Chains A and B, each alone.
Chain A
Amino acid sequence: MPVGNDIVDLRHPLCQPAAIHPRFDIRAFTTREIGLLAASAQVHRTRWSLWAAKESAFKAARKLDPQVRFLPRDFAVHLSGKRAEVVHRLGRFRVWLDHADQWVHALASQAGEKPGFRIAGDPSASSGAARTAEEGFSERVRELARIALSALLNIAPIEVRIVSEDRIPRAQRRGQPLPFDLSLSHDGRFVSCAWEASRVCIPGLVCSLS
């Protein structure tokens, strides 16, 4: 099952209410979602939870159909606490939302169980400084995925290689694909990776991936 994830740094200067365009919500959200925002006691977090749910579902949907386009209002979010369902023409995606004071994270899958995920970052770094260092975050998120997957497989992190095929991350070992569907995200000071284990077992590797 394809997995998608998205993390949003809630203190990133460019996602603050005063920084986003006044028509952002109208452009990004359905009428129903705008109603949710209007009723929310935590508008900032709800806004980015809705967005992260859409983006994570898009990342999963893109693996089902590489031609799918990210038209945010086409990914309709039905939010219910820390769970959501995203409805798109390609199907329905379950979304698990996690949040802390400084970030929200969404995990989308069509599977019944929550995919594995890891989040890392430096909450003490200033969000402005982190912005200028985001190039390094691309490598950091791959390192996070290497560590997480290698622990599941009981192998050294250096044995896991993360490559990109048509902007979709893939995990490999010795040039061979590893039995995971993978998604990576980074924003501001935070990076996150998510994975769904397939049932394919590779000889010589631990196959219990729960």
Chain B
Amino acid sequence: MTREEIFTKVVEIVRPFVKNQEALDSVDENTNILQDLKVNSARLVDIILDFEDAFNIEVEDEDADAVNTVGDAVGLIAAKVPS
């Protein structure tokens, strides 16, 4: 998968959990999932689990905690899936 394909899929996974839809309209890799998109921390657990299912990967707790931005998520996933 290309980084662009992962980005697109990450945004689609995050979308249902986003409170700030305006921020989602201009989302890029620098967008902070908790602070900009206003995703609740409990929902971030669901998002990480959805990443695991969608990309067939495993995300350790420490790696999950390091996901702050959309770009962090894309980078984490890109490192685990075949390019």
**Known contacts A27-B48, A69-B62, A69-B65; A134/B38 CB under 8 A:** yes
Instruction: Let me know if A155 is at the binding interface, CB within 8 A.
Output: no
Q: Chain B residues with Cβ under 8 A from A135's Cβ?
A: 19-20, 38
Q: Chain A residues with Cβ under 8 A from B30's Cβ?
A: none
The main secondary structure of chain B at its interface with chain A is helix
A24: contacting residue among B17, B38, B46, B62, CB under 8 A: B46
Of A14-22, A35-43, A146-154, the stretch lying at the interface with chain B is: A14-22
Across the interface, do A24 and B49 meet the contact criterion of CB distance under 8 Å?
A: yes
Question: In the bound complex, how far is the Cα of B48 from the Cα of A72, in angstroms?
Answer: 13
Q: How large is the interface on B (under 10, 10 to 19, 20 to 34, 35 or more residues)?
A: 10 to 19
Instruction: Let me know if B61 is at the binding interface, CB within 8 A.
Output: yes
A76 → chain B, closest Cβ, in Å? 14
Closest to A51 in B: B42
Q: Chain B residues with Cβ under 8 A from A187's Cβ?
A: 40
B33 → chain A, closest Cβ, in Å? 13
A12 → chain B, closest Cβ, in Å? 9
* Chain A interfacial residues counted at CB < 8 A: 22
Across the interface, do A71 and B61 meet the contact criterion of CB distance under 8 Å?
A: yes
Across the interface, do B43 and A70 meet the contact criterion of CB distance under 8 Å?
A: no
Contact residues, A156-189 vs B (CB, 8 A): 167, 187
Contact residues, A125-146 vs B (CB, 8 A): 131-132, 134-135
Q: Chain A residues with Cβ under 8 A from B41's Cβ?
A: 55, 70
A46 → chain B, closest Cβ, in Å? 14
- Could you mark each residue 65-80 of chain A with 1 if its beta carbon is under 8 Å from any beta carbon of chain B, else 0? 0000111110000000
Closest to A20 in B: B46
Q: Chain A residues with Cβ under 8 A from B43's Cβ?
A: 14
B45: contacting residue among A21, A131, A167, CB under 8 A: A21
Q: Chain B residues with Cβ under 8 A from A15's Cβ?
A: 42
Q: Chain A residues with Cβ under 8 A from B48's Cβ?
A: 27
Across the interface, do A23 and B49 meet the contact criterion of CB distance under 8 Å?
A: yes
Contacts beyond the supplied A8-B42, A27-B49, A70-B41: 4 A-B pairs with Cβ under 8 Å: A14-B43, A21-B46, A71-B65, A135-B38
